[in-house]
Amino acid sequence: MALALVILLVSITCTVFAQDPIVKITETVPPIVDKWVNAMQTDDVTFSCQVENLPVGLKVKWKRDYYDEKNRKQTQAISTDTSLMDNTRYGIEKPFPFVWRLRVRRVVAADQANYSCQVMVTLQTFVTKTVNLRVNVKPYLLPDSTSSDMTVTAGEDITLRCNGTGLPAPVIEWTRLGNALLPVGTERYQGVELKLQQVRASAAGVYNCRVWNTVGKVVRSIDLKIKYKPVIKAASEISQAPGYLIELQCFSKAYPFPTKTTWTKGSYAISTSSGRYKVHAVQGAFGQLTYELIINGVQEEDYGKWTCKIKNTEGTASKDIELKKTDVAQKSFKVGRVVKGSASRSTVYLMTLVTCLQAYVLTQL
């Protein structure tokens, strides 16, 4: 009789404990998508854990597993029943008797982890349900390792840097204003550093660094200025008949903008208008300069080699133009017709207007 009673009690005990607790994650905010809870940084996140068949005396616990900066797996205990290890970061709510809702307050990147709701049945047996939290962070720039506007000298090797972070890890992409080719030969380049070897004047301009991921983007524009001495283009020779107006023109690019301009013929130098000689300097965009000498009524002493000299802080450049004598009068480059020497005021006014229009067009380029 006693033995039968013992067998009955053991049978009942085994039957009771054979019914292990059932643990479910019933609701998450934000909801689970493709096995992940995706939350934006600073959002609150909640995980609701429902436990059925919870034996008397057993406790529901929340913990999280994550990898530290050295990629080592770590486990952090969060709560036991409604008791919290850190009530500043976490909260436990009980909306129903058998639901333990974990709240992670104002999540940050370090909160990204696997969160588990579990019941310890024996020392070696756990009933667990896990939910994966991914924290999304909009990209932002790291100012100490990101370049700002800079001025360099032609021929230098330089590195433009654009460093940003976010979650997911952002893509860093370089382009130029107007999708012009980068000095590396492509319209786009991906990487933290954009290295430019022996930069030329043509590399000057605005470089855009775009840092983006699936939840946002940020753009930094870097204005690269390159100092170089003037580069001059001009016709090697021009012809005009005696007594007619002619313009000698030099087209220059330089940075910084030229500080001194001069026309010379032999030992004779002209830098300002005087008598039959009118000097014009028309400034355009991107360091462009049109520098011209207008001779109003060419005379014998005007024939020969003229030199335009243009100087800035980086050096001096010059270009020779040979003015040759011809029997056929040539048209003015500006007004498009032959202009006799000692031109009327209206003609001079028209030429001045054309010069101003050229200056305006250049600024729009």
Which pLDDT tens digit goes with each residue over 27-61?
999 999 999 999 999 999 999 999 999 999 999 99
Cα Rg of the chain, angstroms = 40
- pLDDT at 338 exceeding the cut of 50: yes
Q: What is the pTM of this model?
A: 0.74
Degrees to nearest 5, angle at CA 322 with 317 and 326: 160
Quickly count helices (H) and strands (E) in the chain. Answer: 2, 27
Give Cα 175 to chain centroid, integer Å.
8
Task: Retrieve residue 9's tokens.
Answer: 């009690």
Nearest to 201 by CA among 180, 225, 182: 225
Residue pLDDT, tens place only, 249-291: 999 999 999 999 999 999 999 999 999 999 999 998 888 999 9
Share of the chain above pLDDT 90, in %: 83
Name the residue with tokens 């580069």. 231
Domains of the chain, start order: 21-136 (2.60.40.10), 142-227 (2.60.40.10), 234-364 (2.60.40.10)
- Which residues in 224-257 are b (16+ Cβ under 10 Å) and which e? bebbbbbebebeeebbbeeebbbbbbbbbbbbee
pLDDT value at position 65?
98
Contact 249, 234 (CB under 8 A): yes
Residue 217 is which amino acid? K
- pLDDT at 156 exceeding the cut of 50: yes
